[in-house]
Amino acid sequence: MRTSKSFKLAEPDIFKKKLLSWSRQFREIAWLDSNNYESNTGEYEAVLAVEAFTAIKTDHFGAFDKLKEYQETTADWIFGYLSYDLKNDVEDLKSANFDGLQFPDLYFFQPQKLIFLKEHTAEFVYLRMVDDEIDGDFEAIRQTEVEEVASLPQLSMQPRISKTDYFEKLEQLLRYIHRGDIYEANFCQEFYAANVEVSPFQVYQSLNEISNPPFAAFLQLEDYNLISASPERYLKKKGSELLSQPIKGTARRAEDREEDQQIIEALENDPKEHSENVMIVDLVRNDLSRIAEKGSVRVDELCKVYTFTQVHQLISSVRARIAEGIPPVEALRTSFPMGSMTGAPKISAMKIIEELEETRRGLYSGAVGYFSPDGDFDFNVVIRSILYNVKNQYLSFSVGGAITASSIPEKEYEECMIKARAMLQVLSGKVE
């Protein structure tokens, strides 16, 4: 079905930049980049998928069944996204909040051309209908001029809810928690700009340059664009092994090395941040146990500090072996949406999120990734991400945090602004 040909690269970093610039000619682009992050545990350093041969685009009704059929029928590489609102397919829930972006709930495509980068090698994996273009494309990429990171128009990003309203909503959320309806909920707020024209590619270049995250993604599907600087893996499947790496717990970076180390130690020893993380780890363990071999769910790392360009994070690693006979898509359906973006108990948290948030999340807090022909997959969590609809000229990003009984609204707002920092810097030139 596909032809594979590999080329050794003398300067892989330069080739990677040229490859991304070369991809701009295609209508459908999926670019996943680990930014050479040492602890990524990914299969590739970067992957480019372009030019759809087939595709599936749907709302949430029966979405996972449709994805299962598409994945099994193509039995090929497919790339795409799952929006947060697929929760309505998994549970009896609804999404009625404002939606300026108007993205489909699910979108995957089967690329004609695939290029994998790993260990100074570019592997071209093309459908046979276009495999005579491999050598020409490799040469064209080598000849491509690397586009410099351009200065962007300074946008005025508006909050969907005011700071005062944010505090009021958090007080309401805390009443639910103190009443015992939930233990934890991830509450998010949107920042947006309407009627704006930007180059999604240039926005991605700028955001990636200042963030360097391990699960970066650039997705262009028709008018729908994702610019993601995600540090978080949702779920990976390799053979029978599953890996989920939820993030809960965030601290700022400091320029002074000594102060930065003090911040790391404070995060490591913060009981509130630990309790947030442990609650979500328990939720992930419970989700995975529904499709895992009995006794195979384990926590390899609990609340380990990982350092990124913009922030420090507490990350845990939960592993399991998928039970025999469970289809790959079922592992996603069973654990979706990811616990780090919902709360506990999960369904109650999602209902309260819908009530208190002002914006339909859409692709934000969903997942982007791929399936391989043999049913393996790897998906990130869509956070620290900018979304843009070219047609209606609406640009948006959202930030949030886990709210627990010990949350202080002012501190939670401050954490949101730490997470928004890189995106605001790229879009408005401001550093809050």
pLDDT digits (tens, 9 = 90+) for 27-54: 999 999 999 886 667 799 999 999 999 9
Closest by CA to 380, choosing from 131, 47, 132, 7, is: 47
Rounded average pLDDT over 363-389: 98
**Half-sphere exposure of residue 298, counting CA atoms within 13 Å on the CB side?**
5
- Give the separation between CA 141 and CA 121, rounded to whole angstroms: 14
* Assigned CATH topology for domain 2-428: Anthranilate synthase (3.60.120)
pLDDT of residue 40: 61
From the list 232, 276, 357, 415, the catalytic residue is 232
Question: Is 248 among the residues known to form the active site?
Answer: yes
pLDDT digits (tens, 9 = 90+) for 301-311: 999 999 988 88
From the list 87, 169, 248, 351, the catalytic residue is 248
What pTM does this model have? 0.96
- Give the separation between CA 313 and CA 305, rounded to whole angstroms: 6
How far, rounded to the nearest angstrom, does the alpha carbon of residue 300 sit from its chain's CA centroid? Answer: 22
H/E stretch holding 190:
strand 184-194
Given a cut of 70, is residue 120 above it in pLDDT? Answer: yes
Question: Is 147 among the residues known to form the active site?
Answer: no
pLDDT confidence tier of residue 430, bands split at 50, 70 and 90:
low
Domain ranges of the chain: 2-428
Q: What is the mean pLDDT of the chain?
A: 95
- Give the separation between CA 98 and CA 32, rounded to whole angstroms: 29
Q: Can the peptide bond before residue 328 be classed as cis, meaning omega within 30 degrees of 0?
A: no
- Give the separation between CA 302 and CA 297, rounded to whole angstroms: 14
Taking a C-beta distance cutoff of 8 angstroms, is the pair 173, 403 a contact?
yes
Taking a C-beta distance cutoff of 8 angstroms, is the pair 32, 118 a contact?
no
Given a cut of 70, is residue 338 above it in pLDDT? Answer: yes
